[in-house]
Amino acid sequence: MVIPMKKTLTPRLLLTLVLLTAAAAAVHLACASETVPGALVLEADGKETAFSPDTLPVIPVEGEIVNGRDEVRTVREEGWALGDVLKAAGFDPAGLASVTVLAADGYSAAVTGGELREEGRVYLLRREGPSFRLIVFGDPDSRRSVKDVVRLIPEKAAEAAVPAA
Amino acid sequence: MKRLTLRELLFLALCCDLGLVSKRLIAPAANAVTGLLRIPGGIGTGFSLLFLTVACELVPRFGCGAAMGFVQSMIALMTGRVGSMGALSPVGYTVPGLVIDLVLLLGRRFGLDRRDRLVLSGMAGSAAAALAANLIVFHLRGVPLALYVLVAATTGALCGLPACRIVRLVSPVLSARPEPERRNGIL
């Protein structure tokens, strides 16, 4: 005797979702693998330039940051001031409105030009791998603590309007 | 509208807590997978929403999911476990609950079987949670956003299967009539 089975959505839905996820993961990881370990991509004026901050001397970075659980954590690592990294790459922090810092997982945070110019505020830590981590001292939370930084997108400040003679 | 019984309220509160705790428990394993995929999350939330779908299926009142999500966000705010969402965490928690409510309501109206309802509500709830988190915190675009939402939706849908099993096991217990109250030894 054959018992008629009621058709359900679940198997087809799960199969479709798994296939779509696998396809998206393949595309995403293929794009991500284009980044060179130990190098940052600078994206400005429609051009992309690979740049290694390792050409700069590392400095000790010390301070306190607040993590996602509102706990204060002491940072004692090595890295560079983000302003110095940008300067070495040919971008004067004085002429920047902001910089968007992008992680390998797509997470991003923006740092304003004012914060870049502030002494002891924004740093790029050098981690094992090598990889880079953005930290912003003085933030009330860890939203701008970006791990595995791969790309910097500086935005130039709009030039001051020249008053008419 | 019929009021919720004490038993139902206690069950909803238990599911709220289980949702919050399970997210913490699964976080290390979930982070390992999302780290490999290079996305900022999506698995833990799908798993924690399993308990919301179970509760909304067993206590079929519209708004249960949204209310539970709101209560979860209040617990998270009071215990300082809001993560990167900060003061906007009530939005991030309530939206998936509301989506679960809507999907379950539509599923019942269109006569979907229980497993389909739970899988669909888990999928939609997780995808909504991922989109809300993206709007509030991550600001992903393009392929990373698509992958993040798909991973969340797949996890939510897969968690619909154990949710269905839990509903089958708990349903008789929750719907059992309570013992009649005795007063002075007389029923």
Confirm whether A148 is domain-assigned. Answer: yes
Please list every residue in chain A whose beta carbon sits closer than 8 Å to the beta carbon of residue B115. 8, 10
Range of weakest confidence among A125-129, B1-5, B114-118, B170-174: B1-5
Confirm whether B181 is domain-assigned. Answer: no
In whole angstroms, what is the distance from residue A133 CA to residue A116 CA?
15
Domain containing residue A149: 40-156
Match 């939706």 to its residue by tokens: B153
Q: What's A50's domain CATH number?
A: 3.90.420.10
Q: What is the pLDDT of residue B48?
A: 92
Q: Reduced to 3 states, what is the DSSP secondary structure of residue B59?
A: coil
Half-sphere exposure (CA, 13 Å, Cβ side) for B63?
A: 3
Confirm whether A6 is domain-assigned. Answer: no
Q: Does A27 reach chain B within 8 Å, measured CB to CB?
A: yes
B9 or A2, which is more confident? B9
Confirm whether A22 is domain-assigned. Answer: no
Q: What is the pLDDT of residue B180?
A: 60
- Report the pLDDT averaged over residues B47-76: 93
Residues 103-162 of A with CB under 8 A from B: 104-108, 141-143, 148
Q: What are phi and psi of B45, to 5 degrees?
A: -65, -45
Q: What is the pLDDT of residue A155?
A: 87
Domain count, chain B: 1
Confirm whether B186 is domain-assigned. Answer: no
CA of A163 vs chain B CAs: smallest distance (Å): 38
B59 or A142, which is more confident? B59
How many CB contacts within 8 angstroms connect chain A with chain B? 85
Confirm whether A122 is domain-assigned. Answer: yes
- Written as one string, the DSSP assignment of chain A is -PPPPPP-SHHHHHHHHHHHHHHHHHHHHHHHTTSPTT-EEEEETTEEEEE-GGGSPPEEEEEEEE-TTS-EEEEEEEEEEHHHHHHHTT--GGGEEEEEEEETTS-EEEEEHHHHHSTTTEEEEEETTTEEEEEETT-SSSTT-BSSEEEEEEEEPPPPPPPP-
Domain count, chain A: 1
Confirm whether B182 is domain-assigned. Answer: no
Residue A130: asked if its preceding bond is cis (omega within 30°), the reply is: yes
Confirm whether A12 is domain-assigned. Answer: no
Q: Which among B34, B139, B150 has the least Cβ separation from residue A24?
A: B150
pLDDT 10s digits, B28-45: 899 888 888 888 888 998
Confirm whether B60 is domain-assigned. Answer: yes
Q: Can you name the residues that pair with A101 across neighbouring β-strands?
A: A109, A152
In whole angstroms, what is the distance from residue B68 CA to residue B110 CA?
24
Q: Which among B40, B119, B145 has the least Cβ separation from residue A10?
A: B119
Q: Can you name the residues that pair with A80 across neighbouring β-strands?
A: A124
Q: Which among B86, B140, B161 has the least Cβ separation from residue A106?
A: B140
Q: What is the pLDDT of residue A162?
A: 41
Q: Can you name the residues that pair with B49 across neighbouring β-strands?
A: none
Q: Does A35 reach chain B within 8 Å, measured CB to CB?
A: no
Confirm whether A33 is domain-assigned. Answer: no
Q: Taking all residues of chain B, what is their mean pLDDT, rounded to a whole number?
A: 88
Q: Highest-confidence range of A33-37, A50-54, A56-60, B159-163, by mean pLDDT?
A: B159-163
Q: Collect all residues with Cβ–Cβ distance below 8 Å to A11 and sequence separation of at least 6.
A: none
Confirm whether B115 is domain-assigned. Answer: yes
Q: What's B156's domain CATH number?
A: 1.10.1760
Confirm whether B161 is domain-assigned. Answer: yes
Confirm whether A27 is domain-assigned. Answer: no
Domain containing residue B104: 6-172
Q: Collect all residues with Cβ–Cβ distance below 8 Å to A9 and sequence separation of at least 6.
A: B112, B116, B119, B120
Contact assignment for A9 to B120 by CB distance below 8 Å: yes
Chain B residues at the A interface, defined by Cβ less than 8 Å, are 34-35, 37-40, 80-81, 83-84, 86, 112-113, 115-116, 119-120, 123, 137-141, 143-148, 150-151, 153-154, 157-158, 160-161
CA of B185 vs chain A CAs: smallest distance (Å): 51
B85 or B180, which is more confident? B85
